Amino acid sequence: MTASHTAEITGLYRYPIKGLTPEHLSRVALRVGQTLLADRRYAIENGPSGFAPDAPEWKPKIQFLMLARNERLAELDSRFDDATNLLTIRKDGQIVASGDLETATGRAAIEAYFTENFQPELKGPPKVLSGRDHSFSDVARKVVSIINLGSVRAIETMLGGVPVHPLRFRANLYVKGWPAWSELDLVGQTLAVGQARLKVIKRIVRCPATNVDPETAKRDLEIPPTLSRHLGHMDCGIYAEVIADGEIGVGDVVVVEEPKLV
C-alpha cells in the first residue's frame, strides 16, 4: 500500500480498565512511546498473578478478567474520570459499584462487586491492579491498535452477511478507506496523522473476545475460526507505536508515508 492509499479516522476509543467499557474520544494527544491517555491503565486480577505495582512487568491476559473468557463483563457500563480517578460501574442503568481506583477504599469497593457477582469465574480474590504508567495491553509494548473497517465488512461477507459490531475488536482507532486486509501489509511502515507518526509493528492475532457482542454480551459468533478458514490466519488489525507527538481526532486523514530514500 502506498501513500496514495489514505484512510479516515471514524472512531477513537480508550479502555481505562482492561475488559470493561470502551470510552469514545473525539480528539486525543499522542506521545512518543505511549498509549492513548489511560488506555488499559488498570486491570482486574483474576487469581494471583505475581504482578508487582512498584516494578510492573507485562503479564498475559489470562491473569485478568477479560472478555475472551468472561463475556458477562460486556453487560457492565463503566466510566472512568481522569480528574478524580473515579470508576463508576452501571448495570441495566443502575450504579452497582464506584470507587477511586487510586485509593485502597475505592479499589475495595470495586473488588467487592466482582467478588459477589463473578463467581464461579474467579480463580481467586479479584484485585484492581495499576502500575504507575504501565499498560495492561495484550502485548508487552505500549501500542495503539488500529482496525480497518473494510476488513470488518469483509468478515461480515465471510459470515454470510451477519452484521459485525466493530467494537468487538476493541481497537483504539477505527479507519475507513483502505481496501480489506491491506493494513496487514503495513508492518514496518509509518502512518502520518497530522504531526503524529505511528510505526506499524505487528499484526493483531484475534482471540475469542471478538466472539462476544459488545451490546448484548452474547458469545454469538466464531470470528477467529472464520478468519482461519477463509484466510489461513486469524489476523485482523495492526499495532503501531507512536514515534512522533501529535494530536489526532475523528475525521483526520491517515497517510501511509513513502519510505525515505537513503
How far is the C-alpha of 97 from the C-alpha of 91, rounded, in Å? 9
Across the chain, mean pLDDT equals 95
pLDDT digits (tens, 9 = 90+) for 88-119: 999 999 999 999 999 999 999 999 999 999 99
Reply yes or no on whether the pLDDT at 3 is more than 50. Answer: no
| 8: Cβ contacts below 8 Å, ≥ 6 apart | 175, 176, 177, 251, 252, 253, 254
| Helix, coil or strand: residue 113 | helix
Confidence at residue 258, expressed as pLDDT on a 0 to 100 scale: 80
pLDDT over 60 (residue 250): yes
pTM: 0.95
In the predicted structure, residue 231 carries a pLDDT above the cut 50:
yes
What CA–CA distance (Å, rounded) separates 177 from 180?
9
Residue with cell 495492561: 136
Q: What is the pLDDT of residue 132?
A: 80
Question: Tell me, what's the pLDDT at 159?
Answer: 98
| pLDDT value of position 259 | 72
Q: Residue 4: what pLDDT?
A: 52
> Residue 229: its pLDDT value, please?
97
Mean pLDDT computed over 108-132: 95
Helix axes 223-231, 149-158, angle to 10 degrees: 90
| Helix, strand or coil, per DSSP, at residue 86 | strand
Smallest CA-to-CA distance from 170 within 242, 223, 94 is with: 223
Q: How far apart are CA 206 and CA 231, in angstroms?
A: 13
Question: Residue 119 has what pLDDT?
Answer: 92
Q: What is the pLDDT of residue 200?
A: 98
133-179 pLDDT, tens digit per residue, is: 899 999 999 999 999 999 999 999 999 999 999 999 999 999 999 99
pLDDT digits (tens, 9 = 90+) for 21-64: 999 999 999 999 999 999 999 999 999 999 999 999 999 999 99
The pLDDT, as a whole number, for residue 262 is: 53
H-assigned helices in 23-180: 104-117, 149-158
